[in-house]
Structure 1
Amino acid sequence: MELAELPFRLLEEITEGFSEGRLLGTGSYGRVYKGVHKNGDEVAVKRLSYDLEDEQFKELRNHMRLDHPNIVRVVGYYDETQHKQVNYEGKFVVAEVRHRALCLEYMHNGSLQKHLSG
């Protein structure tokens, strides 16, 4: 099964611009938002908050190969590096800004943390 690379504008659209009203929770990798497609399909979008090493991100993408009823399914991802001009010590330099997100199946019964901590 091929993992779908999703456009960032789609993720922004289905999460209402990653709005606080769509925030489901925050974890060690980043913030998770509820995304709702125009057709009503729901997904969880995990916007990764820090720059994972390439090998770590590939490992997360390998998660999609897992097929078990007790494992949340990865349905897509976003990975882009932008080059932006920033002011550094009075000089303009080009910096890389990496944006990454995972799109997961939406679990209606809440987070595992909620169920484990009661």
Structure 2
Amino acid sequence: MVEAVEKKVGITTKRKGTSSQNTTSPPKPTLEPGVNNKSTPNKRLTRQNAPATVSADASSSKDKASEPSLVLLDKNQPIVSDLQKKDVRYQEKTDAALALCRAKSDQTRKLAASQQSP
């Protein structure tokens, strides 16, 4: 088991010999295609040497795979919350306009009543 890990990491050890012969330098890290050398430091984990995560329940990972991981929205098509906000704004404006009309008609009635001669 230890030998397999050492082989995967790139460390080879000899059980006999001097300390200078015990280890060799690990191979240089290889970059994935399309990765810029300047922006990726050498110590950064890549997909190849990153530890693999294993889920405890295999059925849950299958369920997650069937769900979309990314939802694209068309900016021209309103979503439900946009439509609800639009309805609320429309109702508020309508209520404000009706209140203003009622206030004006009440004021006009009072003014007309006071201007009438007895």
CA radius of gyration, larger in: 2
Q: From the two aligned structures, give the one with the greater strand fraction.
A: 1
Shorter-chain TM-score bucket reads under 0.3
Q: How does the TM-score come out when normalised to structure 2?
A: 0.17
Looking at secondary structure, tell me which structure has more helix per residue. 2
